Structure formats: C-alpha cells, structure tokens
Structure 1
C-alpha cells in the first residue's frame, strides 16, 4: 500500500515536471482546446440565447398570438365576441391609416392597450387627455427626417378619404419600437409605392373610423409557453384553428352591417330626391332613381361580398420568422466551424505526445523493468492530455458562452430591434463541448500509449534503429543536382518531417 502511494506521488511529481518542462507544448494544446470549445459552445448557445431574449421581450410586451384582418374591417364588438371563446385570453381592436410622409408611405396605428405594447426607448407616450395632437414614432423617422422629440411631423393624404385621422400634423413626444415589427419590413400598402417605410402611433381618439382595421388576441394555452418552441407552435395552431368558425361569423356580421348601411343610404338618397318632386311623378322617379343608386352601389356591394377574413399567427410575421431562421443559422455554423479547431487540437496532441513518448523511451523502459504496468506508466501521458483539454475547455466555456453570443447578438441588433442579450443556461451544450475535447485528446493519448508501451523493457532502453533513407519526389527532377546543399536539406526536411 505504501509502495503504491509512493509510486503515485512520484508519478505526480513527474507529471508536474513534464508540464513545466514542456510548458510551450502544453500551452499550445491548452490554447487550441480553448478556441475549439469556445467557438463550439459559443456558437451553439447563441441560438438559444437569441430566442430566449426574444421570448422574454414578447412576454413582456404581450405579443399577440393571432391577428384578424379583413378588407372591410371589423365591428366594434368583435373583440368582446372573441373573448367568449374558451381559447382566447384577451382581445382588442386597433386602427390603421396609411399616409404619405416626405414621399414615403407610413402607417399610422392606434396606440395598443394591453396587447403588442410598445417599447418606449426615449421620451414619453402621448397623453390621451391632452388636447394637443401628439404621436410617438420609430427611430427611423427621426433618422431619415432629421427630426427630434418636440418637432412636428406633417403627413399628406387624400382629403376625400373617410379613414383619415383628426389631424395631419402631430408633435413627436417619444421614440418607440413594436414587438410586431422586429425589422424594417412593415408590410405593404395601397398608398404610394406600396411598401410601408415606418410606423407612427397615435391615441385612439385621433381615429374617427366606425370599425376596427384589425383585431389582435392572445390565447390561454400559450400564456406560459416560450416563443420559438414546438409546444408554443402546436398550441397556437390548435387555438387558431378553433377560431375559424367565430371569425366567419364575425365577418358575416360585418358584411350584414355594411350592406344595411348601403341600403339605408340608397333609401335616404331616394327619399330626399323625390320629396321635392310632384306627387304624380314621385313613384316613377323613385323607381328610376333607386335603380340608378343600386347600380352605383353594385361595385361596393361586390367588394363587401368578396371580402375575406385572415387569421394570421406569429408564423406569418416576417420579422418573427426571419429572426428564428437567423438564430438557427448560428447553430448550424456552430456544428461546422469548430470542427477545424478540434481536428487541429487532436493532431497537435498526437504529434506532441508521440514525440514525448519517443523522447522518454529509456525512462519508460526503466519503469517497465521495475515492474510498473503499462497503465501506471501511461497515466502520466493521459493526465497530461486530460489537464490540457480540461483546463483549456473550461476556459473556452467561460469566454465562449458569454462573449461569442454577445458579439453575434450585437451584429444582429443592426437588423432586429430587440433589447440586450439575455443569457440562458445550457448545460447540455457545455458538457457536450467540453466532453468532446477531453474525449478526443485523452483518446489520442490512449492510442499513443497503447502502441508505444507494447515493446519490452530491453527494446525500450535501446535506441530505436534509424529508418531507411528515402528519396523525395524532387530528387527525381533534373534541376535537383543544381540546388545548393542547404536548399536540398531544407526540402528534404519539409517533405520527410512534415509534422
């Protein structure tokens, strides 16, 4: 027992001496493993960290689970009727009006109440009780238009339109971002170029429309589920499918409302026109006028009849899905790029330990002659590889799991409007990255020990016989004879001792 303890202590001392003696070799292995593990763990955790950051942002701002759109809008009681569904947690309607600003198309939205709450970056939100016309804008409005908070921003639009807001000039009181629009893609419009460049948000009292432009809702089943997870996608799809019948009913009610309004307008127009005519011609004029009015209203009736309803979940949001795809690309990059560093680290370990075993042949022979088993002798080299891989991998995990995701996220924030990165623990990726490095280096050391310790003590304590000389390919070339001696030595060393 005492002898084993003494031999163990001797081997530990030998290991420490070897590390100090070959510290450059040890540090090179340490550095290669640190880079390999750092990039693998960093790139692999970037995707979960990015999605976790976005999920927290969506939860904080209560991002909608579904949006109801229609070309004819929705009745004011549509949100209340949606709340009657067991799947719906909350619902609210909103207004939208597309206008022109500096030749560009912008969308004016009503300020949300509880769903799709805005991220206030600077300034304040408009005061609903204020008599002054105020708005909040996206950062792009300030950048492109060279505005600042407190300036007035003018909009232009056809004055014949019935959906215009109460004012066409508003004072900027804050800068915001919406969780609905993560990128500069704000959708399309029938105004101007057809592409919405930016969004502006106004109090609901600024809109005089008699119907909501859209309705948004959140679901009961998705409240505790994170975005970009299979559980969320499955539950959201199930809930959206359950609303199809309610949506058809709401659309039918809206069509009925608009049809009645057209009939009422036609009747009032006919009544006001024929009331000034003579009684004997009143009936004839009334019939003719009604036919003409009905003919004039036919296109509007057709538009109402052909109107459809659209249930759009988060998976139909361009920014939402594009962010998920980019995060997955980072994970895919983490599967390929670090392999290079792992291979280099493994080859470096192979070269270093092969030389180490070769240099210590005599010492190994003495240990074997003294009765030490190959396993006892090999522990030194296995421990050498283990410490280099473990310490290097641990250091790589520390900087890779923090610095790499932050650098990647800082690059993506130029495209996506999101808060700062929130790190999420990913133990599986940590153990996978570190375990792979340890397995490769220790496994390489085990193979080297297995082949290098097979010889007998007598063979190990004798110098290895030199290899037979070999000619390189260049020696067969005609110009070889004209080269200088030192040049020939250089080429022979390069080709014969590549490692």
Structure 2
C-alpha cells in the first residue's frame, strides 16, 4: 500500500465517527428521497397490476330496464370493445339487515374477476361468496348461513357461505358506495349464482378494452382514451333508450290492448262501469310506460367506490415526495459538503508534507477524492436499498387495512440516479473545490497551521449596559458565534431544517384531519340529509323523526345539482342549496359570508376553479334542464365538495316556483345501528328517497388522514434522526477545529464543566435560533405541500396543533442534551500537550 493510501486509511480509522457520519447523512437523505419517491408509484403499480390481472371493466353502464343481446352487439361495434352483462341490484340482508350490492355470479365471465381470500367460489345454487368485510367486520365464517330480506326477491332467502373475496370494483376496504336503501351506505357486496336472481334481464353492462390494459389507470392518456371510447359508445347507443322502452313495454301493452278491446264492447252494455274500468286501464298504461322508461347511467373507473380517493391519496404522497424528501436531501447534502470541506482543511499539514516530498497534485488529491467517493457511494447504496425495500413496504403494509390489493414494488432507477448525482456533488464536489484551493498554496504555508480568524466587535458589545453585565464565558461564546459564521449558519440550517421537517409531518397530518373537522363541525352543523319524494307528506316524516330519541330538529331546503360555467372554465356536480328560511338555515350551515335576500354565495374552491370573484357572472345549468345566469354576491369558506347557495327570492326570480325537497337534520350522537334504524324507517314511509349521514362522509375524510399516517410517522422519525446526526456531526467539527483553543483554556485552569459549556453554550443559542426559524419554514413547507396535495373536491386548511411544536422543540432539546453529554465525555480526555504542540 502506498504511503498516501496508508495515510488516508489511517485518517479514516482515527476519525471513524466522521466517516460514518458522512455515510449516515447521505444514507438518510437518499433513503427518504428514494423511498418516498417510490411509494406513490408503487401504489399506482399495485393497482394497475390488480386491475389488469382481474380485467376490471373500463366502462360500466346501468340500465333501468336491463340489457339484451342487442345491447352487447351495439357496444361491441366500438373498436376493441368486449362487453358482458351481469345481474345486479341493491338488497337488504344479513343479521343487521344492511344494504348489500348483490351480483349474479357467472363463471364464464371474463371481466371483474374476484380475488379469493378464503374458501372458494359458488358451485351450487344454494351457495354464496361474500365480501371479505363480512368476515372481518360482521364475524361471518365459511359454512355459516347468510339470509336475505324478502324484498331482495331471490329464488331462496338463505345461502351457505363458501368463500370470502375481494373485487377489483371495490378496492377501498372502508367503503362500498352509496344506495337509496337502509342508511344510504352499502355495507357489503356479495355474489350468488346468476339464476338465483329473479330478474328477467341483466341490469349492468361491463365493457373492457384490451388496448387500454397496459396504460396507467390514473394517467391523463388513459382518462383521455376512455373519454373517447365513452363518446363512441354513447353515439352507438343514441336512440337506443326509446327503442328499449318500447321493447319492454310492448308485452305489457299487448295485454292492455286485449283489455281495451273487451272494454270497448262493455261500453255498449254498461257505459258507467266501462268509464270506471277505462280510468283504471289508462292509469295502468301510464304506470307501465313510466316504469318501462329506459335511462342509462354511464360510469368509468373513476366513478367506482374508492377509486378516485385512492388516486388522490397516491397524488398526495407524490406531492409530499416532490417537496419533503427534496428539502430533506438538500439539508443532508449541505451538511455533508461542510463536513468534507472541514475534513480536507484539517489535513492541510499532511497535504503540505506530501507536496514537499514531491508528490504530484493529482496523486495527493485523488486520495481525498476516493475518501469522499467511497463515503458518498456507500451512503447512496445503503440509502437506495433501504429506501426502496423498506419504506414502500412499510407504508403499503400499513395500507393493507384500507386497500384490497396485492402490492408491487419496483426500483426507481431515475430517482436513484438523481440521488447519486447530488450525493457525489456534496461529497466529491466538496473535496474537489477544497483540495484544489489547498494545493494552490506552497508546502511551507500548508505545513503551518491556518491563522485563526480575528474577532471583531459584535452588535451586542455596543450595548454597553447589557454587555458589561455578562460573564467572561458568555462574552467569549457570543463573540465566537459571529467569529465562525459558516459554522453558525450550518448549525442553524441543520436545526431549522430538522424542526421544519418534523413540524411539516405533523402539519400535513393535522391539516388533512382539519378539513373534515372544519367542514362537518364548524361549517355544517347538521348530521343528516334526507332527500324527499316529489309529493312527500312532510307530516308523516315529522312523526317518524319525533319518535326517534336521537332527533333534535330540522330545516327545509331545496337541493339540486348543477354545472357551473364562467368563460372557458367549468365545474360539474355542484350542490345548490336554497333554504326555505335563511334565519333557520344559519343554524345548520355557517357561512363566512352572509346569505342575503338578493344574493348568491359561492364556495372558495369552486370560485378558484371558475376563476371568478365577487361581482362576476356565472352560468348555472341545473340537472332539471333549467339554465340561468347569476351574479356572485359573496364567496364563503368550504373545504370538501362544491356548494352554491341561493336565497329563496333569487330562486323565485331566476329559476321558478320554490319547493322544498330536502331536510337537513340536527341529531344527537348516534351509533351505526341507530343510523340504520332511522334511515330504514324513513325509507319505509315511502315519503323519502334516501338518507345520508355526515358521519359517513366525515369517516371518509378521516380515512384519508389515516392513509397518510404511516408515511408521516416515518418522515417525522427520519427527520429526527437526521437532526441528531447533523447536530452531532457539526459539534464534532466545532471541537476538532478548536482543539488548541479548548486545550489552552483547560491548561489555564477551567473545570471540565466550564470547558464543556464553553462549546455547548453556543450550541444552545444556535438550537434556540434554529428552532424558531424552523417554525416559520415548517409552516411555509406545510402550506406548499397542502397546496400541491389539494384535489378538485378537497382543500386543506393550514393547521399545526400545539403538540407538533412541542414534539419538534423537545426533540431538538433532547438531541442537544445528548450531544452535550457526548461532547462532555470527549472533552474530558483531550490530549492537551499534543494539541498545543506547534506544527512548525
């Protein structure tokens, strides 16, 4: 081994702590950068693999009158389309009479294949497979009997459970969608043999395109391609609804025609009786035509329960990955750059010696390059492997309680390459800059110690009353802080960065939770929305409500859905609320802008998407077909969904006769069973179309927060570790740089505690300053990430609870205390004589 190499190996051995610290800092930076960057794509890859393997349909169509073979052929006219029909309806069943999405099982079906989690699929008419949630949440077992309500209209009411499954149509374990029966929430899905369902035709048409199978289901190209396919399908089905209505109605109308012939003969014999029967016949005819009317509901994957929420969750992680790890990595790279710089500067005596012995600049420099390169590469390899293999797996493992997928984790070589480049810039780049600078000096200058920086008067010294009351030690500490400015800034950056990252972790978690709390506690004070039938008897509903012990009060409103347009901007599915009484409405919906008699109020996110302000005009297209132009009178805060509020006067002036069609209910705290019971009673009254509870929506938002919790906890933990390593490393640099100074004051008779405080006092001041600056950076970083993570439907208020500040502060104080103890032990064993020996 050459002398230069031997010397470098000896240096690494003597300062193992510094070499390990460089590797650890790079490793942490790369780990978080690569790991978080890999998590979002891993979520998407997992879903893409599942939907591709199980042939999830790209388009689903639900018909009120069912589908025939004609419809399958019609759908398959679109290039590449494969169409299948399935029997489907919502029914009541189980021990608790919950709402169930019931499908007819057909083993020949190619699309939406089930994922068996336990047991097997049905083979006989008396067998059923249930949603995995039936086992997990309702304690059903294989071999148990599952019973449906009589209203389910099946060939038998009881079936033997032979398996539990997941479905690519229901990826979200926490939600199964909404319906207009029971409490409005679907609790389970189930499959019975198709022949067991008393339905003359299939009610759902599934369409799949093989050409779209390899596309990322959340990509713009996939969505664009699906939109084009839906447009082509709708074009093929143009006019089909009326023809289908005639097909369905024709058999019934044929019977009525026979009755009409008999009735015509009766008119000659008994006109009075004939008139009565004619009225009954006309009513029957009208009812048949109404019930046989065909309407199609078109859905894409985005409309499936939990699908959009999953994509949004993935997008939020991507938003975090675009900011949090980058900031984390920049801090790591900056500290590494400083460490390498100090290491080379400390070796100037050795560089001078080797230069005097005749070694070339390259021979001297390359050893320091190799030192930096080895630390950087080792850090990158460890960080990339641990980041790719552990972080996504931990997060996805925690996601399993929410999402029904088989996970796929792939290495992101582009991200690893970026991390490698930045790591080498921080290590080798620092070595190149400093070695080049040192080698420009002559051997004699290099072998002499670097002249210490001269102290200058600081601002505090000019405040005489304060300065004169400070002790000698404090005066020295304050002077040294400004004497070594680069170290001061590095320590502040390290502490501020760590504090900011920890605070950001808490901030993201708190803000996502706050969106639900602020919406359903501060803005909305009602607990349920009851959608009434067109000719509902409100007195009957009031009787049911008053008999319920959880009921408090209600207010009546007109609710509708509209499409809002302003210029080229458009927002769909906006909830339009018009109260019967503005005064009563204020008890249930707390707007930050008053709803006046002649005004309309728009919510914040909707206004932003439309790019409108107070005084601007918007076009409102209601689902009823009415389109009006209104002026925005005020903009109010809102965090979830799109809402548009009208006064009754504006409604009458611009839209037409005002009629209430919805109740907002105030309820005491309810259990799930109480919600189901109330919803069922209201539905059984025949006056109510359906009931939805804000509790269910709030739970969905809470789940969004829960989905991010694993990754937030990991980010907080790693931020804390980075902060500790940074503080420890910078303190070590501080001590090694000032070893002669510290030895001098020790020789002069300073006690061990005084020598320690001589150094640590500076750390305490810099830690306090760093924490305070970190508070500000943490808020800015959180606000930026929340802005990036916001979706079209949800925005997040910047919220960081006190516990976030307390934890971030306490961690920094604990880290400073640990470093103080380690430094104290180290300073007790300083070789004062060796340190004070002159190099000359």
Sort the TM-score into its range (normalised by shorter chain).
0.7 to 0.9
CA-based RMSD: 3.0
- 1:180 pairs, out of 169, 175, 200, with 169
Q: How does 1:238-253 map to 2 (within 5 A)?
A: 238-253=228-243
The 3 A distance-change label for structure 1 pair 265 and 493 is: farther
- Structure 1: gaps spanning 5 or more residues: 1-5
Partner of 1:281: 269
Q: Which moved more, 1:50-59 or 1:471-480?
A: 471-480
**8 Å contact kept, 2:345–2:434:** no
- 1:348 pairs, out of 335, 345, 362, with 335
Partner of 1:111: 105
Distance 2:412 2:343 in 1: 37
Partner of 1:3: none
| TM-aligned CA deviation for residue 407 of structure 1 | 0.8
The superposition leaves residues 180-223 of structure 1 with CA deviations (integer Å, 9 ceiling, x where unpaired) of 01113322222122221221211101112112211101114224
Q: How does 1:435-450 map to 2 (within 5 A)?
A: 435-450=421-436
The superposition leaves residues 379-410 of structure 1 with CA deviations (integer Å, 9 ceiling, x where unpaired) of 23222221111111011111111111101111
Q: How does 1:71-220 map to 2 (within 5 A)?
A: 71-75=64-68, 77-101=70-94, 102-112=96-106, 113-128=109-124, 130=125, 133-158=126-151, 164-183=153-172, 184-220=174-210
The superposition leaves residues 136-184 of structure 1 with CA deviations (integer Å, 9 ceiling, x where unpaired) of 11122233333222122223254xxxx7222233222211111001113
Quick check: 1:322 aligned with 2:309?
yes
Distance 1:375 1:33 in 2: 26
**8 Å contact kept, 1:364–1:377:** yes
SS at 1:243 equivalent: helix
Q: Which runs of 4+ in 1 moved over 6 A?
A: 272-275
- 1:404 pairs, out of 376, 384, 391, with 391
| TM-aligned CA deviation for residue 264 of structure 1 | 2.5
More contact order relative to length (CA 8 Å, sep ≥ 6): 1
SS at 1:193 equivalent: coil
Quick check: 1:257 aligned with 2:247?
yes
The 3 A distance-change label for structure 1 pair 428 and 228 is: same
Distance 1:477 1:340 in 2: 41
**8 Å contact kept, 2:27–2:380:** yes
Distance 1:467 1:429 in 2: 41
| TM-aligned CA deviation for residue 495 of structure 1 | 5.9
Q: Give aligned pairs, total.
A: 481
Q: How does 1:289-328 map to 2 (within 5 A)?
A: 289-302=277-290, 304-305=292-293, 307-328=294-315
Partner of 1:58: 51
Distance 1:274 1:145 in 2: 59
Q: How does 1:362-441 map to 2 (within 5 A)?
A: 362-370=349-357, 372=359, 374-419=361-406, 421-441=407-427
SS at 2:188 equivalent: strand
Distance 1:69 1:90 in 2: 13
Distance 1:238 1:319 in 2: 23
**8 Å contact kept, 1:368–1:374:** yes
Distance 1:264 1:85 in 2: 34
**8 Å contact kept, 2:88–2:202:** yes
Partner of 2:26: 33
Distance 2:74 2:340 in 1: 74
- Structure 2: gaps spanning 5 or more residues: 489-729, 731-840
SS at 1:96 equivalent: strand
Partner of 2:11: 18
The 3 A distance-change label for structure 1 pair 449 and 346 is: farther
SS at 2:44 equivalent: helix
The 3 A distance-change label for structure 1 pair 11 and 251 is: farther
SS at 1:165 equivalent: coil
Query: Could you state the TM-score of these two structures normalised by the residue count of structure 1?
Result: 0.86
The 3 A distance-change label for structure 1 pair 287 and 371 is: farther
The 3 A distance-change label for structure 1 pair 290 and 80 is: farther
The superposition leaves residues 44-70 of structure 1 with CA deviations (integer Å, 9 ceiling, x where unpaired) of 122222222212211221111110122
Distance 1:66 1:192 in 2: 27
